């Protein structure tokens, strides 16, 4: 949760309404809203006090551990955290690599592609706002505010496509399968999840794209001067206060 939300929620009582302004951080996951200001209205329907339940067999079973073993639950949590940490590190490295590629490649981005990407970004933004209950007709949405972001996305897409083509970095079947299996480990029946993905080719597209990204990152890192930097677990996971 963003600190501004936590501050606004602090001390609120049931039935109380509060309005506050928020500036989304520059690294906000929704790129279309990064760095922009928005006004939010919070309404507290009910305030309840939380409590820590006993960590016992019943607790473990509630989280899908059929045996009720607390040690098994802890082991599963640790495994999931390690996987999530791995993904966070990979995402941070990928973002740094892609930013460096964009910075080094200087060329004029086709206007038609930028306009199309602006339209796509606008449609996604409207869809997300509607999902959150926002009446988009009451919001003044200017596509021009998305131009810089659209130019960057299009340019990066062209750069990556050229690298993949010239260096033969397309996704290999074994890479895709490994990614599907890794993702399936967070479910109760991993084998069933893997089978479901392979039932229809279109269900593998996201994993194929992810494999290509991994290939590009590995290709760049093998040719770049890399300096490792230590990072705290909370910082990477976004839980640092």
Give the least confident one: 24-28, 108-112, 122-126, 182-186. Answer: 24-28
Looking at the fold, whether 161 and 174 belong to one and the same domain comes out as no
Asked if 94 and 217 count as a contact pair (C-beta separation under 8 A), the reply is: yes
* pLDDT, averaged across the chain: 87
Confidence of residue 164 (pLDDT cuts 50, 70, 90): very high
In a domain, 27, yes or no: yes
Question: In terms of Cα–Cα distance, which of 88, 92, 209, 110 is closest to 160?
Answer: 209
In a domain, 67, yes or no: no
Looking at the fold, whether 134 and 161 belong to one and the same domain comes out as yes
Looking at the fold, whether 144 and 194 belong to one and the same domain comes out as no
Q: Has residue 13 got a pLDDT over 70?
A: yes
Q: Which domain holds residue 219?
A: 169-225
Q: Has residue 241 got a pLDDT over 80?
A: no
> Which of the listed residues 134, 150, 167 is the one where a domain comes to its end?
167
> Which of the listed residues 11, 31, 46 is the one where a domain comes to its end?
46
In a domain, 78, yes or no: no
In a domain, 183, yes or no: yes
% residues pLDDT > 90 (the chain): 48
Confidence of residue 71 (pLDDT cuts 50, 70, 90): very high
- Tally of domains within the chain: 3
Looking at the fold, whether 151 and 185 belong to one and the same domain comes out as no
Give the least confident one: 18-32, 58-72, 217-231. Answer: 18-32
Read off the tokens for 18. 């509060």
Q: Has residue 240 got a pLDDT over 70?
A: no
Asked if 66 and 41 count as a contact pair (C-beta separation under 8 A), the reply is: no
Question: In terms of Cα–Cα distance, which of 16, 18, 21, 20 is closest to 44?
Answer: 16
pLDDT score recorded for residue 14 = 83
> Which of the listed residues 142, 167, 192 is the one where a domain comes to its end?
167
- Give the DSSP H or E segment for 206: helix 205-221
Q: Strand, helix or coil at 40?
A: strand
pLDDT score recorded for residue 205 = 95
In a domain, 161, yes or no: yes
In a domain, 218, yes or no: yes
In a domain, 25, yes or no: yes
Confirm whether pTM is higher than 0.75.
no
End-to-end CA distance of the chain: 11
Looking at the fold, whether 33 and 4 belong to one and the same domain comes out as yes
In a domain, 89, yes or no: no
Looking at the fold, whether 147 and 111 belong to one and the same domain comes out as yes
Q: Has residue 110 got a pLDDT over 60?
A: yes
% residues pLDDT > 70 (the chain): 95
Looking at the fold, whether 160 and 177 belong to one and the same domain comes out as no
pLDDT score recorded for residue 2 = 58
Looking at the fold, whether 140 and 173 belong to one and the same domain comes out as no
């Amino acid at each position: 949760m963003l600190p501004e939300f936590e501050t606004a929620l602090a001390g609120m009582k049931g039935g109380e309404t509060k309005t506050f302004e928020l500036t989304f951080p520059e690294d906000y996951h929704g790129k279309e809203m990064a760095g922009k200001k928005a006004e939010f209205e919070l309404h507290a329907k009910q305030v309840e006090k939380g409590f820590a339940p006993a960590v016992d067999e019943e607790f473990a079973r509630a989280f899908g551990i059929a045996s009720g073993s607390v040690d098994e639950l802890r082991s599963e949590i640790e495994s999931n955290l390690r996987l999530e940490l791995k993904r966070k590190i990979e995402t941070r490295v990928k973002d740094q690599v892609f930013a460096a590629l964009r910075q080094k490649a200087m060329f004029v981005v086709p206007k038609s592609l930028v306009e199309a990407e602006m339209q796509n970004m606008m449609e996604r933004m409207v869809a997300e706002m509607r999902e959150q209950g926002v009446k988009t007709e009451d919001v003044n949405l200017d596509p021009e505010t998305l131009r810089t972001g659209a130019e960057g996305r299009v340019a990066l897409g062209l750069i990556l496509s050229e690298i993949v083509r010239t260096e033969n970095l397309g996704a290999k079947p074994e890479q895709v399968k490994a990614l599907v299996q890794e993702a399936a480990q967070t479910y109760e029946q991993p084998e069933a999840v893997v089978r479901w993905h392979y039932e229809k080719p279109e269900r593998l597209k996201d994993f194929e794209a992810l494999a290509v990204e991994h290939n590009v990152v590995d290709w760049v890192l093998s040719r770049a001067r890399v300096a490792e930097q230590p990072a705290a677990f909370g910082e990477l996971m976004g839980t640092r206060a």
